[in-house]
Amino acid sequence: MSSSLTAAVLGCGPRGLEHAEALGEVEGVELTAVADLAAGPREAASRATATPGYPHLDALLDAAVPDLLVVALPPAGRAELVERAATAGVRGIVVEKPFALRLSEAERMTHAGETHGTVLAVCHQLRFLSGFVELKAAVERGELGEVQLLHAAAFGNLLDQGPHLVDAVRWLAGERRVQWAMSQRGDGAVAGLPADRLPPRSSAHPAPAWMTHHLALEGGARAVVETGALYQRSTGFRDEWLAKRVTVVGSEGTGEAQASGGGRITTASGTRARVASR
């Protein structure tokens, strides 16, 4: 059976290679190229995926415009790349989080997508983990009643794991818009945490080591989001990076989902149901 869509990956670091390998497993999609300015990662990805490797986006597009493009590069300079790909006729572009570091860059990319009919997507995978899917279904079935409060927590900083949490909170709340936000910041080192409890900070994720955020959502619901070293660990802790979780408090019950798998739903009647594991 021939593939119906062609795909390429821009950025051949560890995450880009993961995307390339995953695309190779998707039925109906054919990985046709990878690209990276750095020769070492580019050549390694080209060998691993048995696809041509190009030194930059323009060379990739000159060879053949793919239907789908994954941009697995840091956010700095990403807006221009997305604009060029959309202008060239790429039908769908997937970008790593955070989507952008500045609102103006986000607006440039969304405008390019709207202008050229290109679908843009961000890697917010919590929506696809079974525990989160089941929690979302419970909310939509009305098992928890009216959503009143959401609490989300993760080890990575605001621009590292924070985008996953904010996306999950809005998704679980029915895509309600954020009306206002208030944040506070702190330095995890001041709390005496050892180096291995401090999340890495990089040019791609330039945010403080710890922050709390209060979000007011349309309809009156509120959300509290904790990002960084001082976040509250979940019960049954397994791993800092898998400790991401969201709790939904409704008028008729509560529910929780964790990235490590599973969670719990407690209804007003007192019945409890384990959320399916990953």
Q: What is the pLDDT of residue 272?
A: 57
Does position 202 have pLDDT exceeding 70, yes or no? no
Q: How far apart (Å, rounded) are the C-alpha atoms in residues 233 and 67?
A: 41
CA dist list (Å): 151 to 93, 172, 255, 264:
30, 11, 11, 14
Domains 5-123 and 126-274 share a fold: no
Q: Please, what is the average pLDDT of the chain?
A: 89
Tokens in use for 89?
């006729």
pTM (global) more than 0.75: yes
Q: Where are the alpha helices (DSSP H) in the chain?
A: 14-23, 39-49, 57-63, 78-88, 103-116, 130-140, 162-172
Confidence of residue 197 (pLDDT cuts 50, 70, 90): low
Determine whether 31 is exposed, middle or buried from the number of CB atoms within 10 Å of its CB (0-12, 13-18, 19+).
buried
Four-way CATH pick for 126-274: 3.30.360.10, 3.30.460.80, 3.30.70.20, 3.40.50.2300: 3.30.360.10
Domains of the chain by residue range = 5-123, 126-274
**Owner of token pair 């990076």:** 241
Q: What is the pLDDT of residue 193?
A: 67
Does position 40 have pLDDT exceeding 60, yes or no? yes
Does position 271 have pLDDT exceeding 80, yes or no? no
The residue among 38, 93, 90, 97 whose CA lies nearest residue 70 is: 93
In the CATH hierarchy, which top-level class contains the domain 5-123? alpha beta
- Express each pLDDT in 214-235 by its tens digit: 999 999 999 999 998 888 887 7
For 240-244, what is the mean pLDDT? Answer: 85
Question: Which carries the bigger pLDDT value, residue 154 or residue 268?
Answer: 154
Please give the helix or strand (H or E) that residue 225 lies within, else none: strand 222-228
Q: What is the pLDDT of residue 1?
A: 43
The residue among 45, 8, 269, 10 whose CA lies nearest residue 143 is: 269
Tokens in use for 227?
């990002």
Q: How far apart (Å, rounded) are the C-alpha atoms in residues 246 and 225?
A: 9
